[in-house]
Each structure stands twice: as C-alpha cells, then as structure tokens.
Chains A and B, each alone.
Chain A
C-alpha cells in the first residue's frame, strides 16, 4: 500500500520561498504507474490542484501559480518536493501531497497535510 509522509516548515515570510517535501513508501517514484502531485486547501479558495510530476520528470503546473512553482524528484530518497517562490498571504493553506494512477484523474493517496502560513 502506497503511503505519503509530508514535511516542511509551517511559517514562511512574504516574498520568500515555500518548500514542502513528500516521502513515498510502498512504491518507487522512478517506476511508471503513478503521478506525484500537490494540492492545497484554504478557506478562501477551497481545494486547488497545484501541479504534478511523473517518473520521467515531466511536470504540469496550474496556471494560477503564475510560474512560481517548481516540482522535483529526489530518487535517492524516494521523495518529491514542491517549491513556491515569492509567496504572499494568498499562499496560506494546508498543502497535501497526492498520488494516483498515471493519468492523474483521481487522487487515490493523500499525505497527512502540512499547514503553511505566510506571515512576517
């Protein structure tokens, strides 16, 4: 059974970079069959699909990020990460890592969630 465990700081200053990481167990991130993604949830915007990355390294980003997001794989640690630069208060949310079958139609597996607050 695939499991996702998240880590990352809960407080980020405005204009700085938010960084969250997801450790995967039960599957290898370099094997085809899954996507590795991020979804965030805030009271104002609800659930928002941020982006996803595949075992090949190819990525999709939600245009709402306006080019501020970077997804990456760390194959040595079987982890994947999200960075969002130039954050504002609008980036305050619970960030979930997510996974499912490659076509990325559903979120079958969720991380536990990382609350991130953007504040000085």
Chain B
C-alpha cells in the first residue's frame, strides 16, 4: 500500500493551526498511525488507530479519518512541534510509511 502525504512542506507561524494529510492507495480501515521526527532522533509515536493519542502526547495533536483519507491536526503550534511528520498504515504487510510532511516555521 502506497501512502502519500501532503503537502511536502508546511510553513506555519507559532500558535497557528496545522493540518497534514495522508492518503492510502487502498483502504486501510482505521489502521493508521502518525509519528513525529525531530533532527537526529528516531520517530516518536503520536497517534494510532487513526485518532487515539499515544501516552504523553499533548491534546493539541488530533487525528481523524478512515479508509483512505486521514488528517493530523496540530491545534496551536509550539516551538517543539516544528519537525517532520509521517503516517504509517498497519492494515497490510509490509507496513508502509508516507514520505513525510515537514512543518517549518513561517
């Protein structure tokens, strides 16, 4: 399954809302996760099952969607949120990731 994320880069001012998209080439039901990666670090799990926040993830992160279209929303960007975000499907093998959306400071 090919995961396609858009946009490739999102320029946002601190405090503003960011909306990231992920589309699957076929239905993955609700088996979709989101990860955040900062430079030099491994990815960090944010959201699983499309909309469930992982332990310790702030409430400003929310996920939605099912089937082929998914969204990650960051309600009010903080300085530590400027990073690259990846989606990953877990409905089929092999598990596959999107190519990432870089959220940068505007």
Residues of A within 8 A of B (CB): 46-49, 60, 62-64, 96, 103-108, 110-113
Contacts and interface: CB of A to CB of B under 8 A. Distances in A.
B58 interface: no
Given A110-B43, A111-B42, A49 B94 contact: yes
A51 to B, nearest CB: 8
A49 B97 CA distance: 8
Interface string B15-51: 0000000000000000101010000001111001100
Interface of B: 31, 33, 35, 42-45, 48-49, 54, 86, 88, 90, 93-100
A18 to B, nearest CB: 19
Given A49-B95, A49-B96, A106 B90 contact: yes
Contacts of A60: 93-94
Nearest to A51: B94
Contacts of A49: 94-97
A86 to B, nearest CB: 20
